[in-house]
């Protein structure tokens, strides 16, 4: 809306377009009620956007609670007590940036540029504010970051078979006869998918089947919930394909044209029958047969792959196995058929300006972000022959809570010879461990450019209101540091909107003004391309049942040649008989929203969902407390009795701040930083633990 002609002020109460920046495949097109130049009111989904379709999740609908939160950081801070004490004093921006630049310069002089490690993730998914930190990294030859914490495993599994990150239009879910939500919980993690699924159920009588170790919100509303043991999806997928070949539903003509080794697959699957899969998955054989029949006899079957079943050591193999299903039945050919994971390849970005890719040198050391604890405590497999890390700038992530092996992460952050600057919206547990804390803007307070993983729209979220206090955007902080460090690149000289505009043009899209006017651009390729009728992404244009895993990652020798159960998980043992899944909580988004009162109230407290049979054996009662542990540490949580999972499986929804646990030790103390084969990735849902009842009054042993 244009400014008022006389005053130059934005008009009071207007509804403006924006984009949800959170790390969620829905990337909702938003309509924000702007009350004046500094405050917002209601936030809703854009009805005119064909994917958002007027829906947003509850936590973003009440975004005023987050953006106008009294706990927001508004001034730069310098540590005034011991590390981790949480004692800080306010300082000016110039002094803060001088101190950060000074620490980076001194570190470089003493230990070399690779001793500085800029560290970031997807607290905002805006391409500029998220990835701009790489421009500073490359200009200064600071250590590179392997971005594994979220999608590396799924990415490897999808790439292996399909060969590119595209797929059937997710809006086609509304035209499907069978929806299989596999290892995802869209009711909690991307609510818009449910709107399209619900349409198919209402208009076509479509069935919804959910494959998940526990009865999630999505499983609870499904026609069928298949509650397998975590890490056994490869076995289930093999049995479904076995039945397709056995019962005459394998589309041999389709495979002859579009797949690499159908005959080898058929022979290999002969021994992978439902009885075999039953013994691995813990599911009754009849349930596997019924699922196979439903899937194999439906042409318009749409598998929506989540990230959950890939957060395991065998996750890439399992995701690949599931992606083989529509190739065996030929479901890819049909409208409303096929499988979908992520659409990231359809945007063909040129990110040279945003990330300074023209300065990137691949010989500079790269370290795995999921192994932060190992890096900071001197693990040579990550450090290689380079120096220890002595200085960090952290943007858009809260690793003290979200990284695996969090006791080790904390030990690393407490090192006296490590300087840390955290740029944040709130005083997170990572910020508390910093030397300098800088206050960050939120998405309505800066400009950014967005793509969507779970649909096909690119959008711009413009600045709508002024930030509180002295908050600055990531771009502004990088500009300030670049100036002090002598980092040169055109990107440091441009405004946010200039970079957005230039990036759009360089990538073959309309300019920023046009995108703003049209609100979004739909980048979904046409039907033939989306459904791989012109071939899959590999050079031979075929789907690969027998992937060349050596092209996907260095740890490829362990990968199965053809889809299989890959026995590589943290299997339960006599000493650690339970399998822990730390799945996302509905009212939080990673650790974002753990600061808003409504989300906290609705989530209540860190809780273990325990099967009543296990509870009876261990003497656990509803509302009582249980300790969960392994060699890395232990945590204490309250118990809820829950029969929507197999005995031997336990769920702790996440990611609660560590401070919310009795004893201050959070769930990721138990999760491992073992990199998943073949190309790394964190294994948040792959943890064998012991459980013991505890007295509520006894404090858990903190480190």
Q: Could you tell me the smallest distance in angstroms from the CB atom of residue 361 to Mo ion? A: 28
- Contact with ligand MGD (CB under 6 A): which of 499, 589, 637, 650? 589
- Contact with ligand MGD (CB under 6 A): which of 312, 321, 502, 625? 312
Asked if 208 contacts 197 with a C-beta cutoff of 8 angstroms, the reply is: yes
564 to 593: interface string for ligand SF4, x by CB under 6 A: -------------------------x----
Q: Could you tell me the smallest distance in angstroms from the CB atom of residue 632 to ligand MGD? A: 13
Asked if 175 contacts 201 with a C-beta cutoff of 8 angstroms, the reply is: no
Q: Is the dihedral of CA 215, 315, 174, 335 positive or negative?
A: negative
Q: Could you tell me the smallest distance in angstroms from the CB atom of residue 25 to ligand SF4? A: 7
Asked if 138 contacts 362 with a C-beta cutoff of 8 angstroms, the reply is: no
Residue 7, helix vs strand vs coil? coil
Q: Could you tell me the smallest distance in angstroms from the CB atom of residue 481 to ligand MGD? A: 13
Q: Could you tell me the smallest distance in angstroms from the CB atom of residue 192 to ligand SF4? A: 6
Residue 189, helix vs strand vs coil? helix
Nearest to 168 by CA among 532, 521, 457: 532
Q: Determine if 222 is a binding residue for ligand MGD (CB under 6 A).
A: no
Q: Which does 60 bind (CB under 5 to 8 A by kind): ligand SF4, ligand MGD, Mo ion, none?
A: ligand SF4
Helix, strand counts (H, E) of the chain: 29, 25
Q: Determine if 582 is a binding residue for Mo ion (CB under 5 A).
A: no
Question: What is the rounded CA–CA span in Å between residue 527 and residue 524?
Answer: 9
Burial 684-702 (b: 16+ CB within 10 A, else e): bbbbbbbbeebeeeeebee
Partners of 642 in the β-ladder: none
Cis-peptide, bond into residue 433, ω within 30° of zero: no
Q: Determine if 231 is a binding residue for ligand MGD (CB under 6 A).
A: yes
Q: Could you tell me the smallest distance in angstroms from the CB atom of residue 404 to ligand MGD? A: 8
Q: Are strands 301-305 and 338-340 parallel, antiparallel or unpaired?
A: parallel
Q: Determine if 60 is a binding residue for ligand SF4 (CB under 6 A).
A: yes
Cis-peptide, bond into residue 414, ω within 30° of zero: no
Nearer to ligand MGD, 38 or 364 (CB): 38
Q: Determine if 376 is a binding residue for ligand SF4 (CB under 6 A).
A: no
- Contact with ligand SF4 (CB under 6 A): which of 10, 17, 18, 24? 24
Q: Which two tokens stand for residue 134?
A: 């790489």
Longest Cα–Cα distance in the chain: 79
Q: Determine if 150 is a binding residue for Mo ion (CB under 5 A).
A: yes
Q: Could you tell me the smallest distance in angstroms from the CB atom of residue 317 to ligand SF4? A: 29
Nearest to 512 by CA among 488, 535, 530, 494: 494
Q: Determine if 684 is a binding residue for ligand MGD (CB under 6 A).
A: yes
Nearest to 497 by CA among 521, 451, 452, 463: 463
Tell me how many residues contact ligand SF4 (CB under 6 A).
Answer: 13
Question: What is the rounded CA–CA span in Å between residue 242 and residue 290?
Answer: 13
Q: Considering only the stretches 187-195, 318-326, 441-449, 468-476, report the one whose residues sit in contact with ligand SF4 under the rule CB under 6 A.
A: 187-195
Chain positions 455 to 474 lying near ligand MGD, rule: CB under 6 A, are 474
Q: Are strands 40-45 and 578-581 parallel, antiparallel or unpaired?
A: unpaired
Q: Determine if 668 is a binding residue for ligand MGD (CB under 6 A).
A: yes
Q: Considering only the stretches 272-280, 329-337, 543-551, 588-596, report the one whose residues sit in contact with ligand MGD under the rule CB under 6 A.
A: 588-596
Q: Rule CB under 5 A: which residues touch Mo ion?
A: 150
Residues lying near ligand SF4 in the complex (CB under 6 A) are found at: 20, 22, 24, 26-28, 56-57, 60, 190-192, 589
Chain positions contacting ligand MGD, by CB under 6 A: 23-24, 121-124, 129, 149-150, 182-185, 188-190, 211-214, 216, 230-231, 233, 306-309, 311-312, 395-398, 402, 423-426, 428, 440, 474, 581-586, 588-592, 654-655, 667-668, 671, 684-685
């Amino acid at each position: 809306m244009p400014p008022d002609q006389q005053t130059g002020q934005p008009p009071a109460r207007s509804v403006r377009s924006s984009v949800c920046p959170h790390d969620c495949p829905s990337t909702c097109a938003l309509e924000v009620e702007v009350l004046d130049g500094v405050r917002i009111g209601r936030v809703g989904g854009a009805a005119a956007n064909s994917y958002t379709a007027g829906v947003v999740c509850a936590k973003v609908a009440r975004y005023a609670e987050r953006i106008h939160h009294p706990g927001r950081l508004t001034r730069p801070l310098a540590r005034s007590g011991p590390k981790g004490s949480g004692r800080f004093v306010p300082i000016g921006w110039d002094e803060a940036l001088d101190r950060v630049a000074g620490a980076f310069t001194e570190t470089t002089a003493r230990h070399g540029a690779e001793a500085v490690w800029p560290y970031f993730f997807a607290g905002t998914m805006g391409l500029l504010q998220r990835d701009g930190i790489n421009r500073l990294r490359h200009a200064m030859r600071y250590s590179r970051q392997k971005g594994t914490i979220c999608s590396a495993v799924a990415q490897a599994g999808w790439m292996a078979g399909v060969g590119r990150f595209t797929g059937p239009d997710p809006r086609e879910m509304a035209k499907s006869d069978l929806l299989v939500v596999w290892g995802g919980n869209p009711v909690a993690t991307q609510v818009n998918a449910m709107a399209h699924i619900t349409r198919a159920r209402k208009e076509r009588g479509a069935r919804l089947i959910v494959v998940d170790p526990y009865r999630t919100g999505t499983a609870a509303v499904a026609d069928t919930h298949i509650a397998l043991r975590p890490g056994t999806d490869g076995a289930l997928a093999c049995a479904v394909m076995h039945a397709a070949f056995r019962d005459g539903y394998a589309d041999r003509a389709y495979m002859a044209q579009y797949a690499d080794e159908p005959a080898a697959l058929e022979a290999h699957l002969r021994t992978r029958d439902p009885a075999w899969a039953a013994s691995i998955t813990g599911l009754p054989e009849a349930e596997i047969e019924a699922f196979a029949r439903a899937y194999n006899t439906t042409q318009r079957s749409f598998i929506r792959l989540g990230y959950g079943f890939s957060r395991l050591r065998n996750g890439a193999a399992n995701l690949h196995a599931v992606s083989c299903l529509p190739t065996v039945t030929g479901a890819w050919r049909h409208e409303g058929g096929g499988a979908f994971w992520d659409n990231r390849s359809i945007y063909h970005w040129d990110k040279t300006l945003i990330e300074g890719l023209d300065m990137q040198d691949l010989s500079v050391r790269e370290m795995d972000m999921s192994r932060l604890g190992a890096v900071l405590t001197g693990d040579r497999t990550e450090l290689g022959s380079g120096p220890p890390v002595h200085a960090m700038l952290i943007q858009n992530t809260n690793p003290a809570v979200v990284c695996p092996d969090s006791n080790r992460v904390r030990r690393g952050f407490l090192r006296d010879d490590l300087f840390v600057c955290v740029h944040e919206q709130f005083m997170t547990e990572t910020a508390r461990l910093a030397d300098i804390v800088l206050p960050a803007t939120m998405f309505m307070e800066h400009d950014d450019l967005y793509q969507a993983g779970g649909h096909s729209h690119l959008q711009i979220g413009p600045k709508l209101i002024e930030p509180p206090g002295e908050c600055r955007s990531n771009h502004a902080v990088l500009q300030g540091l670049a100036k002090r460090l002598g980092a040169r690149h055109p990107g440091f000289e441009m405004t946010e909107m200039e970079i957005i505009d230039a990036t759009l043009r360089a990538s073959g899209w309309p300019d920023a003004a046009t995108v703003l006017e049209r609100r979004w651009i739909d980048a979904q390729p046409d039907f033939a391309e989306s459904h791989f009728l012109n071939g899959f992404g590999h050079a031979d244009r075929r789907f690969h049942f027998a992937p060349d895993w050596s092209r996907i990652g260095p740890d490829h020798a362990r990968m199965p040649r053809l889809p299989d159960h890959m026995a590589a998980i943290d299997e339960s043992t006599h000493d650690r008989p339970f399998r822990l899944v730390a799945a996302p909580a509905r009212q939080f988004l990673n650790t974002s929203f753990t600061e808003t009162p409504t989300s906290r109230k609705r989530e209540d407290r860190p809780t273990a969902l325990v099967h009543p049979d296990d509870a009876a054996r261990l003497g656990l009662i509803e509302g009582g407390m249980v300790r969960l542990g392994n060699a890395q540490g232990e945590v204490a949580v309250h118990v809820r009795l829950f029969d929507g999972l197999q005995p031997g499986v336990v769920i702790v929804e996440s990611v609660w701040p560590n401070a919310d646990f009795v004893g201050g030790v959070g769930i990721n103390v138990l999760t491992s930083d073992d990199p998943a084969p073949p190309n790394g990735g964190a294994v948040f849902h792959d943890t064998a633990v012991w459980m013991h009842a505890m007295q509520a009054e006894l404090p858990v042993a903190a480190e």
